[in-house]
Structure 1
Amino acid sequence: MQAIKRIHHITAIVGDPNENIKFYRDVLGLRMVKQTVNFDDSGVYHLYFADYDGTPGTVITFFNWMVDRPGQKGSGQVGRIGFRIPKGSMSEWQQHFDKLNISTKISQLFGQDTLEFDDVHGLELALIEDDTARENHEIIGFHGAVLLSSDPDGTKELLVRTMGLNQLDINDRNYHFETAGEEKHHIITEIPPSPRGRFGIGTVHHIAWSLPELSMLEEWQGLLRDKGFAVTEVRDRNYFKSIYLSERGDVVFEFATDEPGFDVDEDKSKLGTSLQLPPQYEDRRTQFEKELPKLDL
């Protein structure tokens, strides 16, 4: 079986959608490539941000809860999410955050200088420099993520033995892995495990791994079931097809196809500019447009 080459997307739970848009579009400079609803809980928005093209490996998505229910960060979740920026751009980003009164600190979380900060809803983020300088200092895509596993060795077994990630380092604080693809996404698993978390605003719901197309997704579905995981049926998310499971450390993993992409229902030049609904909800469009908050686009 071909190794997993990169993260596809990461999905978090946050609050007010307009605060969400302002932060990821105006502060971080990402493009909102899709506005739709949570296919499994249609009363809330599902907003997608990425590079201009919506490339897998750059996509962060959000369920926008309008109730005041902060989450509890802990095991069974994804922790801090790292974005990659061009070489030599960290000081400029730090100055940018300082002007906006966004608190930052420098750590070595990902084995090199890591600029840590939180978004407007308390989601933990970071910026890490790439090896290559570029003309602009825009976010390139993901650098990686921290997994708050309740069973770090069980998570390690899946990541390395089954998914084909390379083990970079083990110390008394974490395990450090890297995906096999050209993006070389970094995955940190903290040790020892933290107390069990609770989903809510400011927490990550799941991390999705990239697969090229449906036949490969089905092969992975069979392999994971053979290894004893409770894997879902293939679900059609319009922009990709996917399967879900809870791995040994209780973190929700999704495996998602790169096809068909985010321009399946909108021209690429207009991505994210209007509400897109899956066929099963199209007859409720008037209701959604009335009840969902108006977005500041």
Structure 2
Amino acid sequence: MILLGECCCFTLTKPRFLRPNADSVSNVHRRRRIKRVQCLRKCELIDFHQELIPYEVAWSLQKHIVKEKKSQIQNEGDCDDTLIVLQHPSVFTLGTASSDNNLNFDIKNPPFHVHRTERGGEVTYHGPGQLVMYPIINLRKHKMDLHWYLRKLEEVVIGVLSSTFSIHASRVEGLTGVWVGNEKVAAIGIRVDQWITYHGLALNVTTDLSPFKWIVPCGIRDRQVGSIKGLLREARSSCNDHGTSDLRGLDDNSLVDMIHKSLIEEFSKVFQLEYHNRTISVPMLCESEGKEVIYQRNSKLEFL
């Protein structure tokens, strides 16, 4: 018997002896069945995938939720997981390993806002058409292994590209993220506080890639950045369909919606989660820019 952490339970059923018939010949020799019943963890889904949420607002929201979960674990021993999905207005973010040498602009006069963060990794760009996922999960109830967690995030994106478009995406040894050929389509940068994760992954869907010219993305100089829209365009022009024949009339918003749905499903499958939606007012959230965000369980926001 293989035990998969604390996410599964197993039930033994009594032996069943079946008479052979046209419908169930394969069951004749089945003496005993072990039925695995998945026990999915609950995950709060905060979905802004059609909205542009200022980076500093989402960042403050994440940090408050982490603080809330740490308190809940201390008092109750566990907490539900949370997944935030959104888009950002154009912004550059720098991780703990970032160097100004990877900026192709004057830091005192940047083309877009710049934020230094506590996530791992180098500089990257966020902007419209890029789906960003911020999982805030308790790794004590999944697996307390950061390499495992990074590989699982990569697995989510690889599964999305494969199942939705039959695009073969892969990892590159020694690097974090997801690649199609020489193009990086998804960047990953995380922070873990007492085994609670935040920050996450960014997948280029219909993203304008020109702002990446202002930086050395993730500090990698010998590779390019790509998007799903660009890959589909290349596939059509090369007559290598990749299953895109039904997508030729798809506009940018529809493509983002399609990828969003697939990301949500794949993340649930990979991490064995069951969602319940949490609604937050977008105007109220965005009005908090530059202020501390206080997130309450009744789905309302207060600002200090």
The structure that is strand-richer by fraction is 1
Structure with higher Rg: it is 2
Q: TM-score, normalised by structure 1?
A: 0.31
